[in-house]
Amino acid sequence: MFGCVLAEVGSRIFSLNTVHTYFFFTLMMSGGLMCSGCTDLFTGWVGMEVMLLCFFPIVLKHNMPWLSVLGCVNYFIIQVIGSNVYFVSSCFMSAFDSKYWMIPILLGLFLKLGMFPFSFWVPKVYSSLEWGGCLMVSVWQKYGPLFIMANNYLNQKFWWLVALSGVLSVWIGGMLGVTVNSVRVLMGWSSVCHAGWMAILTLTSEWVLLLYFLTYALICTALFSMFELSGLMNFSSFGYFSQTTRACLCLGLLSMAGIPPLSGFFLKWVGLLSLIESGFELTSLTLIMGSGMSALLYMNLVFTLSVHSWVTSLSYPVTTPKWEAGDYIRMFILIFMFPFLFFFY
CB 41 within 8 A of CB 105: yes
Q: Which amino acid is at 57?
A: P
Helix axes 131-138, 2-13, angle to 10 degrees: 150
Say if residue 187's pLDDT is above 80.
yes
Q: What is the mean pLDDT of the chain?
A: 79
pLDDT of residue 99: 83
pLDDT of residue 87: 92
pLDDT of residue 292: 82
- 211 versus 344: the higher-pLDDT residue is 211
7 pLDDT band, cuts 50/70/90, is very low
- Choose among 303, 298, 305: nearest CA to 175: 298
Cβ neighbors of 177 (< 8 A, separation 6 or more) are: 186, 189, 190, 193, 294, 297, 298
- pLDDT tens, 193-238? 999 999 999 998 888 898 899 889 888 888 888 888 777 777 767 7
pLDDT of residue 247: 76
Q: Which segment of 62-66, 69-73, 175-179 scores lowest on mean pLDDT?
A: 62-66
Query: For residue 309, what are the domain limits?
Result: 2-344
Domain count along the chain: 1
Say if residue 110's pLDDT is above 80.
yes
pLDDT of residue 281: 87
Rg (CA), the chain: 20
CB 220 within 8 A of CB 195: no
3 pLDDT band, cuts 50/70/90, is very low
10 pLDDT band, cuts 50/70/90, is very low
CB 258 within 8 A of CB 265: yes
C-alpha to C-alpha distance for 309 and 307, rounded to whole angstroms: 6
Largest CA distance in the chain: 70
CB 254 within 8 A of CB 203: no
Say if residue 344's pLDDT is above 80.
no
Say if residue 167's pLDDT is above 90.
yes
- What mean pLDDT do residues 142-148 have? 90
Say if residue 62's pLDDT is above 60.
no
pLDDT of residue 104: 92
Cβ neighbors of 298 (< 8 A, separation 6 or more) are: 177, 178, 253, 254, 256, 257, 259
- pLDDT tens, 16-49? 445 566 677 777 788 888 888 777 888 888 888 8
- pLDDT tens, 96-109? 877 888 899 999 99
pTM: 0.86
What does the DSSP assignment read for 121-174?
HHHHHHHTS-HHHHHHHHTGGGHHHHHHHHH-THHHHTHHHHHHHHHHHHHHHH
- pLDDT tens, 239-280? 666 677 777 788 888 888 888 878 888 888 888 888 998 888
